[in-house]
Structure 1
């Protein structure tokens, strides 16, 4: 067995005659354990919040979305859509028209996005499964589905055929408008369903209606759409699908995946996670100051023993390693214990929902082995640095050697 490691292990697991050193060492070990628990639990909470936040993206956004490179709309022929279906690369191909409109209902108004969808829309998105009240719209009708936030703001009722709401869009064109009324296009819709996705931004954002009705409202020509939403067949790569889209539509379109559609959300989540990690690295560093102090006190206490070993022929470098290894042993044991307790807390929360945000919604946490590795490596590396700093105390003055 390595000599330095053998001595370090005995020092690490045996009590000192000095009670103060035992107390400081215990405090240092407890600090490492608690900081490991805290870092792992918080990273697991952010993993859970990330998964919870992205669940809306994964359920509601298409795998790929095709946009016009310029302008708000582009032409898509039936033969192009047929090519996509026949390729076998897509489970769903849906034509969509989307724009902002003003909604007017019983002297109440709000601006929302109206989204005209075809009968294939339910293949690419799960909005129809999020309908909380009523049902999804029937096609070739003036029915629509609104978000819960919109319904509350306008006090909308379902199946109220006598009180439809009015959607108002700006009429496309150029030049000066003589009559303000002629600058707008209007169309009535009847709400038959209310969707709810537990996200205020999405619940306040959309009204879904039949694509031809929205096309008339926005005065778009036949087969012009705002975007094409696609769901990939299982096992099909994004690269393969994009290659086909390039062949079908050329370079006049842009294709985005879920991450690109929500790049701001992904950046925010990644930044938050990194900042929290840095904060807890600082917490670990503060805990390791106590370890440095404990090791220095142990070095001072063991001065006579170390000098004896040196006189017996043990190299100064090996004596330094004794305290480097001792600090590493304390760090590794503390981090493993802390991670174990942290994993236990996270699994208990996942299984039994010990902490609740509100009734029916447990605080989201997620066990991720990646977090285990991050916490262990972070504490071990910082523990190595702290132990190395303390071990430099074993120098020529400490051994009473003459200066060179």
Structure 2
């Protein structure tokens, strides 16, 4: 009933045309604010999906590392039990260490990652090779797969037939004193391929054969830096993670992809909420227009309020009429804004209307992804702001009818 009164007040002609103008200004402001919020959240969704896809090419579904210390030791029995974990698709044993690569006068400090032959089954680096091929060689004849940034800094061309480059790997030592002669293993190695994923990886990582790296570091064949695991069903990652944690115990840290990059995802979420808060100020500005429109409407409808009061309407009834008037303005503006945002996102996805400047990114347009949760969040935000903005005029209107009755 109260909504019907609100709808009638919205459509009816006003004695002062400025009331209609302010109401439509309020609707347009809410429409712009709603569209802006959804568009910005959709852009964040697009970039988040892109970054996750890039990071998923390097980081595994699950990674096992030692809870303390640098290396973990696994027996063949433990590896056999690991293979039997339900939901596990494959795993790869890895060893990581800092190393120096040198090609003539050019050198680079890299994170050298030794991997086994199963690595390609848990990691998609092979799908990002831009020159050469993914070939880690053997323990006696190792090969090197480097990031694009490392290839550029060393001025090498990834090809197994080119001249080898020098590699210096620190050896494991029980002594606290560093001896460059005994604690560094010099060797030569040929580059086989180059990958390009993302600058954080391209400028940092080089990949080689795990047995070669273990021998160069002077560690046992059953010592590893970690285990990288691929699951059959990504939706069951948490369940597989728990099973592996129970199997290996608290001496091991078992992390999913989110936990491996927790700081990155935390920053992305923080940026999302900061922009959400800033753009919500547009809706707050629209709320000031709503307060003005409803206040003038209350003055316009004083006689109607007195009539309704005479017919038995109580304060709550009058209050709800003008609250619904505010919700009506928010509903119209918010609905128009959502439709506008939906149209613009679909056009961007189809025609890439808004380009990315600079040309240094993997794509040349702003990625956008629609999510239902964003529409629900923005809808709730609009309605909450509309309620707050409508409350004061509606409350005054509910009090106005009693003063008119007393007269």
TM over 0.5: yes
Spell out the pairing of 1:384-395 with structure 2 (5 A cutoff): 384-395=387-398
Question: Deviations along 1:193-237, whole A, 9 cap, x unmatched?
Answer: 11011x211111110001111112222122211111111123783
Partner of 2:92: 94
Report the alpha carbon displacement of residue 240 of structure 1 after superposing the two structures with TM: 4.5
Contact persistence 1:148–1:196 (CA under 8 A)? yes
Quote how far apart the aligned CAs of 1:139 are: 3.0
Q: CA offset at residue 185 of structure 1?
A: 1.6
356-365 vs 281-290, greater mean Cα deviation: 356-365
- The whole-number CA distance in structure 1 between the counterparts of 2:253 and 2:180 is 35
**Equivalent residue, structure 1, for 2:386:** 383
Q: Which residue of 1 aligns with 2:336?
A: 337
> Which of 154-163 and 132-141 deviates more?
154-163
Pairwise mapping of residues 57-76 of structure 1 onto structure 2 (< 5 A)?
57-76=55-74
Instruction: Check 1:30–1:217 CA distance in 2 against 1; reply closer, same or farther (3 A cut).
Output: same
TM-score scaled by structure 2? Answer: 0.91
For 2:88 and 2:399, locate their aligned partners in 1 and report how far apart those are by CA, in whole Å: 73
Residue of structure 2 equivalent to 1:353:
352
Q: How far did residue 352 of structure 1 move?
A: 1.9
Match of 2:283 in 1: 284
Contact 2:100 2:167 in 1 (8 A): yes
Q: Which residue number in structure 1 is paired with residue 313 of structure 2?
A: 314
Q: Distance in 2 between matches of 1:178 and 1:329?
A: 75
> Partners in 2 of 1:28 and 1:48 — Cα distance?
30
Query: CA 1:298–1:223 in structure 2 vs 1: closer, same or farther (change >3 Å)?
Result: same
Further displaced range: 146-155 or 83-92: 83-92
Question: Could you give the per-residue CA deviations for residues 109-143 of structure 1, whole angstroms, max 9, x where no partner exists?
Answer: 22110000110000101011110111101431321
In 2, Cα distance between the equivalents of 1:104 and 1:40?
A: 50
Using a 3 Å threshold, how does the CA distance of structure 1 residues 275 and 50 change in structure 2: closer, same or farther? Answer: same
Q: Deviations over 1:301-339 (max 9, x none)?
A: 222332233234332332222211111111112111111
CA distance in 2, matches of 1:330, 1:143: 67
Q: Secondary structure at the match of 2:215?
A: helix
2:265 aligns with: 266
Range that drifts further, 56-65 or 144-153: 56-65
What aligned pairs does 1:172-187 form with structure 2 within 5 A after superposition?
Answer: 172-175=172-175, 180-187=180-187
Q: How far did 1:161 drift?
A: 4.8
C-alpha contact 1:349 1:365 (8 A) present in aligned 2: yes
* Alignment check: 8 A CA contact 2:136 2:207 kept: no
Preserved CA contact (<8 Å) 1:62 1:124: yes
Query: What residue in structure 2 maps to residue 194 of structure 1?
Result: 194
**Alignment partner, residue 227 of structure 1:** 226
Where do 1:4-403 residues align within 5 Å? 4-87=2-85, 89-140=87-138, 141-159=141-159, 161=161, 163-175=163-175, 180-197=180-197, 199-234=198-233, 237-246=236-245, 248-357=247-356, 360-396=363-399, 400-401=403-404
Q: Is the 8 A contact 2:130 2:195 kept in 1?
A: yes
Q: Secondary structure in 1 aligned to 2:110?
A: strand
Secondary structure at 1:152 match in 2: helix
Larger mean Cα displacement after TM superposition, 153-162 or 238-247: 238-247
Give ranges in structure 2 of 5+ residues lacking alignment.
Answer: none
Supply the RMSD in Å over aligned alpha carbons: 2.3
Query: Are the structure 2 counterparts of residues 15 and 55 from structure 1 closer, same or farther at C-alpha, using a change threshold of 3 Å?
Result: farther
Conserved 8 A contact 1:116-1:211: yes
Deviations 1:10-50 (A, max 9, x none): 01123323121121111111111111111111111111111
CA distance in 2, matches of 1:242, 1:178: 39
Distance across 2 between alignment mates of 1:337 and 1:70: 56
Q: Distance in 2 between matches of 1:246 and 1:381?
A: 44
CA 1:397 to 1:63, structure 2 compared with 1: closer, same or farther past 3 Å? closer
Write the distance in 1 (CA, Å) between the matches of 2:97 and 2:38.
44
Unaligned runs of 5+ in 1: none
- Tell me if the contact between 2:48 and 2:268 (Cα under 8 Å) persists in the aligned partners: yes
**Residues 294/236 of structure 1: CA separation in 2 closer, same or farther (3 Å cut):** closer
Per the alignment, do residues 162 and 134 of structure 1 end up closer, same or farther by CA in structure 2, a change over 3 Å counting? closer
Q: CA deviation at 1:74?
A: 1.8
Q: Distance in 2 between matches of 1:168 and 1:370?
A: 51
